[in-house]
Amino acid sequence: MFVYLSKKIAIPNNVKLNCIAWNKEEGYIAVAGTDGLLKVLKLDQATPNGQSKGGLAAVSNLSMNQTLDGHKESVRVVTWNDAQQKLTSSDTDGVIMVWMLYKGSWYEEMTNDRKKSTVASMSWTSDGSRICIVYEDGAIIVGSVDGNRIFGKELKGTHLTGVQWSPDNRLILFALANGECHLYDNQGNFAMKLHIQCVNVSGGSSSRGHRIASICWFSGRAVQSRKRPVLAICYENGRNKWQK
């Protein structure tokens, strides 16, 4: 038997949504879109027996529906720091904002604006101590949770689209617009190019690499039968790659 629960949440003024992120530790959901829209939502917590507070037939209500004001342009990237209970967001102007929870509400903690390029992706380490930010123009910045810059790197001529830390925080994986994945150590030194790519062969030997839509590195610790980390790579054409 499978049980599927759903709740429709309306966004005011028919604002187009660009991204969503789920806080796996506390259940917060961040949604972001055009016109600087950024909201944090949370459903009522279930009781120990798995039922909602109002009973099995009760409608799940939102225990939080907060609009976070700060971004002026379309928000393109949101990511959670589960370990430190922080939310990071970035808009098309390259403005990055870090939000913290204080007395039951989310407040702006710090803001950064590189003023050169749009953020393509952001990723926190599993312990929440460091964040890696990649820009579309090939710039890479690794910073600490308190806002200090650890190191920066410029990959000239490279269009970056995604980033993920390895589960042990020793490696950083970068996704490129041409569908390639490059691996660096946590000090910014190149390690290797992964030999995995999704290609579309057409007309003989010509081929085109597909853009990567998302990458996710799962530690495997939460599943008893799977002890080794698993890397998932999803391409915009709908194909997936799994690497152990």
State pLDDT tens for residues 79-104. 999 999 999 999 999 999 999 999 99
Bridge partner residues of 134 (DSSP): 121, 140
> Model confidence at 57, in pLDDT bands (50, 70, 90)?
very low
Q: Rounded to whole angstroms, what are the CA distances from 194 to 25, 175, 177, 203, 232?
A: 31, 10, 14, 26, 13
Amino acid 47: pLDDT: 53
For residue 166, being part of any structural domain is answered with no
What pLDDT is stored for residue 106 in this prediction? 96
Confidence at 189, pLDDT banded by 50, 70, 90: very high
- What is the average pLDDT across 41-60? 57
Pairwise CA distance, residues 210 & 186, whole Å: 27
Phi/psi at 73 (5° precision): -110, 180
Determine the Cα angle at 146 with ends 84 and 143, to 5°.
100
Number of domains in the chain: 1
Tell me the CA distances in angstroms from 52 to 3, 60, 142, one per residue in order: 14, 7, 41
Q: For residues 73 and 97, what is the distance between their CA atoms, to the nearest angstrom?
A: 12
* Domain annotation covers residue 215: no
Which of 26-40, 99-113, 148-162, 228-242 bottoms out in mean pLDDT, i.e. has the lowest?
A: 228-242
By the 8 A CB rule, do 87 and 40 touch?
A: yes
Q: What is the DSSP letter of 13?
A: G
CA distance 238 to 139: 28
Look at residue 157 and tell me if it is in a domain: no
Segment 113-132 mean pLDDT: 91
State how far the Cα of 98 lies from the Cα of 78, in Å rounded to an integer.
Answer: 10
> 3-class DSSP state for residue 12?
helix
Burial status of residue 224 (CB atoms within 10 A of its CB: 0-12, 13-18, 19 or more): exposed
Q: Is residue 86 part of a domain?
A: yes
pTM over 0.85: no
At residue 187, does pLDDT exceed 80? yes
**Do 191 and 147 form a contact (C-beta atoms < 8 A)?**
no
- Report the pLDDT averaged over residues 18-42: 92
* Residue 69 in tokens: 């004001």
CB 198 within 8 A of CB 239: yes
Report the Cα–Cα distance between both ends of the chain, in Å, rounded: 30
Residues above pLDDT 70, as percent of the chain: 79
Q: Identify whether the C-beta of residue 90 lies closer than 8 Å to the C-beta of residue 122.
A: yes
Identify the residue whose tokens are 């308190």.
146
Answer whether residue 123 is part of any domain: no
State which H helix or E strand residue 123 sits in.
strand 119-124
* 95 within domain boundaries: yes
Does residue 221 belong to any structural domain of this protein? no
Residue 87 lies in a domain: yes
Which structural domain range is residue 76 located in? Answer: 14-45+59-113
